[in-house]
Amino acid sequence: MKIQDIKKICVIGAGNMGHQIALCAALAGYQVACTDISQEMLNKAEGFARTYLPERVAKGKLTQEQADGAIANLRFTQSLEEAAGDADFVIEAVVEKIDIKRKLFRDLDGIAPPHAILATNSSYIVSSKIADVTKRPDKVCNMHFFNPALVMKLVEVVQGPHTSAETAKITMDLCKKMGKIGILIQKEIYGFVVNRILTAINREALFLADIGVVSPEEIDIAVTNALGHPMGPFRLMDLTGIDLAYYKAMERYRETHDPKDKPSPLVVEKFIKGEWGKKTKKGFYSYE
Ligand code: 3HC
């Protein structure tokens, strides 16, 4: 198979990442089916596309034809069978829980055509922890986008030991077709590249806030004004989801049993309160 054979893309999960990945693919000219178990999430995702595209046209960033084309390319459905049944390439962007992903890939393997590549957008679950539930491990890899996916250029493609060179190449080519910059990571490693760096920053930022040296807001002020990052670590956690930070740390801790991998007290507190960041309108900051 070659990149030219990819015409239909299925995006599973219409949440924080999925709705924008689907739109990126639709803007790149692919026929995209976005699916989610929640109709509410699908409605939100469709609503976002219908607001975002006219705004881009009004801003002069897209032509009316490009916006119309993207809308025509997109469909939203709760049915996995309908979304993945004719897909050439599937991008899974559901919650970061391994059991859910494994069950989904098992189902997906029976639904998607045999030639379809099954990629996971997981930030840290390497695809070898999922690929074995399918009969096509050579066609399974990580394709990790960054939030907000419509803006951030980088995509990490991770080639597991089971992933064929052809799958890695097509996935890298797809990044390019979607206007992204792909990097090919040829060895599975926890956190890939970017999240390893980000985790180190977040760990230190959370430690400083946890011991009361300085407030989260001041840490963000420091990082944006001294290091030139567009957002400080706390505002960024609000964007990517404090629930994600919690699940990530818990999953890692279960594996390593290393206390330094436990979620920080501040993350646990926010997680328990349901203050998960922008998506719940409150995290380290308020978004009312
Ligand atoms: N969705 C789509 N587009 C958005 C957006 C969103 N949520 N937020 C901003 N944009 C677009 C705007 O439309 C604008 O586009 P334009 O310049 O083409 O008109 C552009 O981004 C700049 O927007 P603003 O002027 O409103 O705001 P900022 O200049 O503050 O930029 C930002 C917002 C792009 C989010 C910027 O703050 C940023 O780059 N932050 C860092 C994001 C980051 O580090 N992401 C990686 C997170 S790690 C991750 O995702 C890994 C995962 O595994 C957890």
Do residue 86 and residue 162 come from a single domain? yes
- Catalytic: 162? no
**Active-site residue identified among 16, 73, 142, 195:** 195
- What average pLDDT is seen over the chain? 97
- Catalytic: 123? yes
What local confidence, expressed as pLDDT, does residue 277 receive?
98
Q: In 3-state terms, what secondary structure has residue 264?
A: coil
Is residue 151 in some structural domain?
A: yes
Q: Is 231 in the pocket of ligand 1 (CB under 6 A)?
A: yes
Do residue 35 and residue 153 come from a single domain? yes
Q: Is 271 in the pocket of ligand 1 (CB under 6 A)?
A: no
- Strand ranges for the chain from DSSP E: 8-12, 31-35, 74-77, 89-92, 117-120, 140-145, 154-158, 181-185
Is residue 287 in some structural domain?
A: no
Q: Is 152 in the pocket of ligand 1 (CB under 6 A)?
A: yes
Q: Is 61 in the pocket of ligand 1 (CB under 6 A)?
A: yes
- Catalytic: 96? no
Do residue 135 and residue 160 come from a single domain? yes
Q: Is 236 in the pocket of ligand 1 (CB under 6 A)?
A: yes
Give the mean pLDDT of 74-96.
97
Cα of 1 vs its chain's centroid, Å: 25
Last residue of a domain, one of 185, 219, 244: 185
User: 101 alpha carbon to ligand 1 midpoint, in Å?
Assistant: 27
Residues 6+ apart with CB under 8 A from 124: 96, 190, 191, 192, 195, 248, 251, 252
For ligand 1, mutation pick of 19, 126, 151 (most atoms within 8 Å of CB): 151
Task: With cut-offs at 50, 70 and 90, classify the pLDDT of residue 122.
Answer: very high
**Active-site residue identified among 46, 156, 188, 275:** 156
Q: What is the pLDDT of residues 49-71, one digit of tens each?
A: 999 999 999 999 999 999 999 99
Is residue 61 in some structural domain?
A: yes
Do residue 269 and residue 179 come from a single domain? no
Q: What is the pLDDT of residues 163-206, one digit of tens each?
A: 999 999 999 999 999 999 999 999 999 999 999 999 999 999 99
What local confidence, expressed as pLDDT, does residue 266 receive?
96
In percent, the amount of the chain with pLDDT more than 90 equals 97
Neighbours of 95 (CB within 10 A): 14
What local confidence, expressed as pLDDT, does residue 28 receive?
98
Tell me: pLDDT of 286 over 90.
Answer: yes
Closest atom, ligand 1, to C-alpha of 152:
45
Q: Angle between the 242-256 and 233-240 helix axes, to the nearest 10 degrees?
A: 90
Q: Is 230 in the pocket of ligand 1 (CB under 6 A)?
A: yes
Q: In 3-state terms, what secondary structure has residue 189?
A: coil
Partners of residue 182 on adjacent β-strands: 155
Do residue 62 and residue 159 come from a single domain? yes
What local confidence, expressed as pLDDT, does residue 251 receive?
86
Domain hosting residue 272, numbered range:
194-280
Q: Is 196 in the pocket of ligand 1 (CB under 6 A)?
A: no
Q: What is the CATH number of the domain that holds 83?
A: 3.40.50.720
Do residue 22 and residue 58 come from a single domain? yes
Last residue of a domain, one of 148, 167, 185: 185
Strand 140-145 relative to strand 154-158, pairing:
antiparallel
User: 115 alpha carbon to ligand 1 midpoint, in Å?
Assistant: 34
Please, what sign has the CA dihedral across residues 14, 17, 22, 23? positive
Residues 6+ apart with CB under 8 A from 200: none
Give the mean pLDDT of 250-267.
93
Of 86, 94, 72, 108, nearest in space to 19 by CA: 94
- Catalytic: 144? yes
Q: What is the pLDDT of residues 22-44, one digit of tens each?
A: 999 999 999 999 999 999 999 99
Cα–Cα distance between 105 and 248 in angstroms, integer? Answer: 20
Task: With cut-offs at 50, 70 and 90, classify the pLDDT of residue 156.
Answer: very high
Cite the DSSP H helix spans in 151-287: 165-177, 194-210, 216-226, 233-240, 242-256, 265-273
Is residue 288 in some structural domain?
A: no
